[in-house]
Amino acid sequence: MMKDLNKRSWAIACTLCLCLLLIAFTSTAFAKKNRLSVGFTTEEALENLQMGEAMQYTEMGAVFWPLVYDQLWIMGPAPDYEPLPMIVERWETDDYQTWRFYLVKNAKFHDGKPVTAKDVAFSLWYLPKSNPAWDYPDNDIEDKKTMKIIDDYTLEFTLAAKWPGKYPPASWMPVLPEHIWKPHKRKLGKFVNKKCIGSGPYKLKKFKGGEYIWMVKNKKYWGDVPAVDEVVFKSYGSQDAISMAMKKGQIEFIGYNGAPSVAYEDYKKAENIDVAISPGIALVWFSFNLHKENGIQDKLVRQAIMYGIDRERLIQMVYLGYAKPADSFIYPEMDTYNPDLPKYNYDPEKAEQMLEQAGYVDTDGDGFRTDKKTGQKMSFEFLVPSAWPDEVKLAKVVKEQLKDIGVEIKLKVVDLDTYYQFIYTPTDDKFDLSVSSEEPGPNGSWIWEFVRGYNNGGAGWNQAYYDNPEFDKTLDAMNAETDPEKQKALTFKLQEIVSEDLPYALLLRADMIDPYRTDTFEGHVATMGGFSSWINSWTYFKVRPKK
Amino acid sequence: MGLKGFILRKVVAACLTIIAIVCVNFVIFRMAPGDPVRMMFRDPRVSAEKLEEMKQTFGLDKPLSGQFVAYVKGLTRGDLGQSFSHRRPVLEVIAAKIPATLLLVVTALVFAILLGVALGALSGWKSGTKLDTFILTASLTMYSIPTFALGIILLLVFAYHIAIFPLGGMATPASLFEGAELVWDVLWHLCLPALSIVIWYIGEYVLLTRSAMIDVMGQEYITTAYSKGLKKFRILKNHALRNALLPVVTITGVNLGFAVAGVIEAETVFSWPGVGRLVYDAVSHRDYPLLQGVFLLFAFSVVLANLVIDLIYGYIDPRIKVSG
């Protein structure tokens, strides 16, 4: 009996020891730093840390800087997309032109210096003055004299024009430490910015241009400290390499643009990987060049082209079904979306009738109509950048579809920089129509500047060389309207004009396909554009290691 | 013509080539469509003043002749100008990438030459046998696989399925390796991209050495060597291979020259941060100064390598000095 008891005691003691050892090892394992690795392609990688266009427009840059720099406010997560205070407690305005922001009082830069209203004023004034500029319609401050530093934590400024609506001004602007940037204020974009000192929830640890960015959490962050110890943005030579890296557990998800639709099934089958589908943030449309003297100038031709395109087929063939038709610059889930816009459903017979009616007929029996404006074959140059493989495919399908209604399309595939130069100078007549794409985001009122008339300050974004005084008047009224309902009605009207006149023809919105590992982290935040985009840093703030 | 005259003639020819390249280099990129200043701005709402300021910063406000003079003056001072896209001196941008490219290409070339020449010599020596057929078929296959596809295959096999090599890059991202650990890490990352280049170049060297060997093997001095009763290996090494190496030396020179320009496909697939990627980015950003710098370096290294080869030729085959 005693022997049995001794044996039992030994067994219990051994089990306890084992448990203790296990707990010790487990706690050691938990004590190990957790690292969130995110994959980008080398084309998307950031080459330098200067606060220039690379930081704003490369995918890695656009996701990186909001993690190390605070902003006055940020876009809240889906579905409401409310403007949420970031480094401010609140803001107020009486007339939507003069704004007052109240900063939090315990925010510090990564070097320990406090964040004050002076830093905010410095950033708001000098970033738009740099060349190339960090400049958006909602940060157009009228005069430096109108910037008043009320106290260390209160800043007031007056915009050149009213900024009514749901969102306050000064969106997507980093708060730079004045004590570091002041000597470079005339040429902000040139400062090498090796340390990237901000006040955001992450701090830069190491940067290798074109290769990786290594961040660690800012333990002294004034707000909610992230649950992730380290974030690493890694670049890979191709989507194939990204896919292999994810399956091998070397990255958790893709940093921007998600995975191509052809990869969906492959990811879905992989172990410990799931795929989230979110509405896309990018809208794809045609820009018609109304400057060039040919049939495109004729509204009926533009409408006929739209009736001649089978969007459902495009979506199936190019995006394998992972896209939705679009008809407005405003996303359907936003309350300013006008649901009663003309849909231009595929109807080739109607398209042909419209062309006949407008006097575009096939005079020589070659299968193509004659452009009555030029007297030549109805043939249009279709500009598309080689860097957008899906849109190149789309253009090829469109070419075949429009052939059926007697319109010849000649594809003009150019590199991305040449493409941007061509579409933003329609007066050079380098294209007749082009595929275009932008990411307006929920706070997308700036997108209407693409339509503002050339004779009303619209040169710049206006790819179509569109000039409609009625549109401009409505746009100005919408921008100035402080009553939400009236502003909504004006936004409806803007959408109607564009849909009717078709300087731009909205086509579709590709879904965001986000594969992600399910065995390591949880709490990913999906918004339009997926887990990680220029409007969504929430995943990096909220994601946590899986227990 | 004496040795001095021979060298002088070659050096003068090389200098003239470089001067011609400098001129062509300047003109050719300016013929491409698109305004480089406009392309510096992703945001098209740029004002005329800002455009002008940018033009002045990069000296593009001057007429072409003025730009050319400034370019040549800069070259004499070793100044290749400022990169449009990197906003840093071109020399600095290129210098940062050259070590990675040299490491990759020189390592790959050394292995490719050693293996390719050895296998090519063996194949030529054993011409008509099964071994020859095997080596020839394998070489042709390797030579005909596009490096891009080969890179992906290597990644799939060795980095994904067998998982003994990394998926890309030159070192483990976000690591604090130093000293021997860092060297080991870089070598580990070097294996796959170097292998993809080695496989491609081996084919080239095998084919070249083999055909030269077959040619040499039919020469009378080989028959003489046999009749003198020399050992087979000695004939192969001292008589046949040495004479068969002339075309190999030529192609090695050219390859070394190209090495500086990088191996774009391999560097892209394996995200190797070298000059090849830089060329690709510079072309897409219409970065004239960077393109001029890279292409000048590229041309300079090819010309220099050819000059060295010409001089080595003179040493290997004295007949060239006399006839040349």
Determine the average pLDDT of the residues in A329-358: 96
- Min Cα distance B310 → chain A (Å) is 38
Parallel, antiparallel or unpaired: strands A202-208 and A88-93? unpaired
- Using alpha carbons only, give the angle A535, A539, A541 rounded to the nearest 5 degrees: 100
- Assign B241 to helix, strand or coil: helix
CB distance B177 to B185 below 8 Å? yes
CB distance A147 to A155 below 8 Å? yes
Determine the average pLDDT of the residues in A453-461: 83
Residue A21: pLDDT over 60: no
- Count of CB atoms situated within 10 Å of the CB of B49: 9
Give the pLDDT confidence score for residue B289 in this predicted structure: 87
Give the pLDDT confidence score for residue A19 in this predicted structure: 45
Handedness of CA A103, A120, A441, A63 (dihedral sign): negative
- Assign A254 to helix, strand or coil: strand
Nearest chain B Cα to A460, which residue? B45
For B42, the closest of A48, A206, A420 (CB atoms) is A420
- Give residue-wise pLDDT tens across range B243-300: 888 888 888 877 776 666 658 888 888 989 998 888 877 877 778 889 888 888 888 8
pLDDT band at A392 (very low <50, low <70, confident <90, very high): very high
- Name the pTM for this structure: 0.87
Chain B positions touching A131 (Cβ under 8 A) are 50, 53-54
Q: Which two tokens stand for residue A239?
A: 């989507």
Give the pLDDT confidence score for residue B260 in this predicted structure: 64
B255: number of CA atoms within 13 Å, CB side?
Answer: 22
Give the type of residue at A427: T
- Give residue-wise pLDDT tens across range B64-94: 889 899 889 988 888 888 888 888 899 999 9
Give A509's contacts (C-beta < 8 A, 6+ positions apart). Answer: A279, A280, A282, A283, A284, A323, A324, A325, A326, A331
Q: In this complex, is the C-beta atom of B128 within 8 Å of any C-beta atom belonging to chain A?
A: no
Residue A422: pLDDT over 80: yes
CB distance B303 to B18 below 8 Å? yes
Ramachandran angles phi, psi of A250, nearest 5°: -85, -20
pLDDT band at B324 (very low <50, low <70, confident <90, very high): very low
Q: Say if the Cβ atoms of A212 and B156 lie within 8 Å.
A: no
Cα–Cα distance, A311 to A307 (Å, whole number):
9
**ipTM score of complex:** 0.80
Average pLDDT, chain B: 85
- Min Cα distance B14 → chain A (Å) is 35
Nearest chain A Cα to B265, which residue? A237
Ramachandran angles phi, psi of A102, nearest 5°: -110, 115
Residues forming a β-bridge with A530: A527
Give the pLDDT confidence score for residue B41 in this predicted structure: 79
pLDDT band at B1 (very low <50, low <70, confident <90, very high): low
Q: Which two tokens stand for residue A17?
A: 């020891």
CB distance A326 to A282 below 8 Å? no
Ramachandran angles phi, psi of A73, nearest 5°: -145, 160
Percent of chain A, pLDDT > 90?
82
Residue A20: pLDDT over 70: no
B:231-270 residues touching chain A, CB 8 A cutoff: 268-270
Q: Say if the Cβ atoms of A421 and B34 lie within 8 Å.
A: yes
Give the pLDDT confidence score for residue A10 in this predicted structure: 60
C-alpha A128: how far from its chain's center?
Answer: 20
Q: Say if the Cβ atoms of A135 and B53 lie within 8 Å.
A: no
B:39-78 residues touching chain A, CB 8 A cutoff: 39-46, 50, 53-54
Bond preceding residue A79 cis, omega within 30 of 0: yes
Give the pLDDT confidence score for residue B319 in this predicted structure: 63
CB distance A327 to A506 below 8 Å? yes
Cα–Cα distance, A200 to A196 (Å, whole number):
10
Chain B positions touching A48 (Cβ under 8 A) are 86-88
CB distance A394 to A285 below 8 Å? no
Give the pLDDT confidence score for residue A193 in this predicted structure: 93
List the one residue out of A166, A204, A190 whose CA is nearest residue A67. Answer: A204
CB distance B194 to B228 below 8 Å? no
Tokens 């503002």 — which residue?
Answer: A452
Give the pLDDT confidence score for residue B253 in this predicted structure: 77
Residue B188: pLDDT over 90: yes
Residue B311: pLDDT over 80: no
- Give residue-wise pLDDT tens across range B3-40: 778 788 888 988 898 889 888 888 887 777 677 787 77
Chain A positions touching B173 (Cβ under 8 A) are 37, 208, 211-212, 214, 232, 234
Q: Which two tokens stand for residue B81?
A: 């100008």
Chain B positions touching A426 (Cβ under 8 A) are none
* Length of chain A (residues): 547
Give the pLDDT confidence score for residue A30 in this predicted structure: 42
Q: How many helices (H) and strands (E) does chain A have?
A: 15, 21
CB distance A120 to A152 below 8 Å? no
CB distance A409 to A326 below 8 Å? no
Q: In this complex, is the C-beta atom of B174 within 8 Å of any C-beta atom belonging to chain A?
A: yes
Give the pLDDT confidence score for residue B176 in this predicted structure: 84
- Give residue-wise pLDDT tens across range A197-224: 999 999 999 999 889 999 999 999 999 9
Percent of chain A, pLDDT > 70?
94
B contact test, residue of A172, A191, A202, A418 with most B CBs within 10 A: A418
A contact test, residue of B51, B82, B87, B277 with most A CBs within 10 A: B87
Give the pLDDT confidence score for residue B262 in this predicted structure: 57
Burial of residue B135 (number of CB atoms within 10 Å: 0-12, 13-18, 19+): buried
Exposed e or buried b per residue across B249-287, where buried means at least 16 C-beta atoms within 10 angstroms of its C-beta: ebbbbebbbbbbbbbbbbbbbbbbbbbbbbbbbbbbbbb
For B35, the closest of A37, A205, A421 (CB atoms) is A421
Cα–Cα distance, A258 to A532 (Å, whole number):
9
Q: Say if the Cβ atoms of B169 and A35 lie within 8 Å.
A: no
Residue A15: pLDDT over 70: no
Parallel, antiparallel or unpaired: strands A98-103 and A88-93? antiparallel
A contact test, residue of B101, B167, B182, B284 with most A CBs within 10 A: B167
Q: In this complex, is the C-beta atom of B29 within 8 Å of any C-beta atom belonging to chain A?
A: no
Residue A162: pLDDT over 70: yes
Out of A365-374, A486-495, B210-219, give the one with best mean pLDDT. Answer: A486-495
Which is more confident, A260 or B55? A260
Residue A29: pLDDT over 50: no
Categorise residue B227: left if φ over 0, alpha if ψ from -120 to 50, beta otherwise.
alpha
Give the pLDDT confidence score for residue A249 in this predicted structure: 94
Q: Say if the Cβ atoms of B268 and A236 lie within 8 Å.
A: no
- Assign B290 to helix, strand or coil: helix
Q: H/E/C letters for each residue in A179-193?
A: HHHHHHHHHHHHCCC
What Rg, from alpha-carbon coordinates, does chain B have? 24
Cα–Cα distance, B306 to B227 (Å, whole number):
38
CB distance A132 to B40 below 8 Å? yes
- Min Cα distance B43 → chain A (Å) is 8
Determine the average pLDDT of the residues in B218-223: 86
Which is more confident, A214 or B223? A214
Exposed e or buried b per residue across A95-106, where buried means at least 16 C-beta atoms within 10 angstroms of its C-beta: ebbbbbbbbbee
Categorise residue A344: left if φ over 0, alpha if ψ from -120 to 50, beta otherwise.
left
Cα–Cα distance, A2 to A9 (Å, whole number):
10
- Give residue-wise pLDDT tens across range A271-315: 999 999 999 999 999 999 999 999 999 999 999 999 999 999 999
Lowest pLDDT segment from A3-12, A363-372, A422-431, A497-506: A3-12
CB distance A220 to A161 below 8 Å? no
Give the pLDDT confidence score for residue A87 in this predicted structure: 97
Q: Say if the Cβ atoms of B277 and A424 lie within 8 Å.
A: no
Nearest chain B Cα to A48, which residue? B86
Which is more confident, A57 or A330? A330
Q: Which two tokens stand for residue A341?
A: 């816009």
Parallel, antiparallel or unpaired: strands A148-151 and A154-158? antiparallel
Determine the average pLDDT of the residues in B106-123: 92
Cα–Cα distance, B304 to B283 (Å, whole number):
24
- Min Cα distance A518 → chain B (Å) is 19
Nearest chain B Cα to A215, which residue? B174
Alpha carbon dihedral A479, A482, A484, A489, in 10-degree steps, equals -50
Q: Say if the Cβ atoms of A232 and B173 lie within 8 Å.
A: yes
Element containing residue B195 per DSSP (H, E) = helix B179-217
Element containing residue A380 per DSSP (H, E) = strand A379-385
Determine the average pLDDT of the residues in B163-171: 92
Average pLDDT, chain A: 92
A contact test, residue of B45, B85, B288 with most A CBs within 10 A: B45
Q: In this complex, is the C-beta atom of B285 within 8 Å of any C-beta atom belonging to chain A?
A: yes
Lowest pLDDT segment from A2-16, A269-283, A358-372: A2-16
Give the pLDDT confidence score for residue B243 in this predicted structure: 81
Determine the average pLDDT of the residues in A43-60: 90
Q: Name the strands in the sheet holding A88-93, side by side, starting at the edge strand that comes first in the sequence.
A: A88-93, A98-103, A154-158, A148-151
Residue A11: pLDDT over 60: no
Give the pLDDT confidence score for residue B83 in this predicted structure: 87
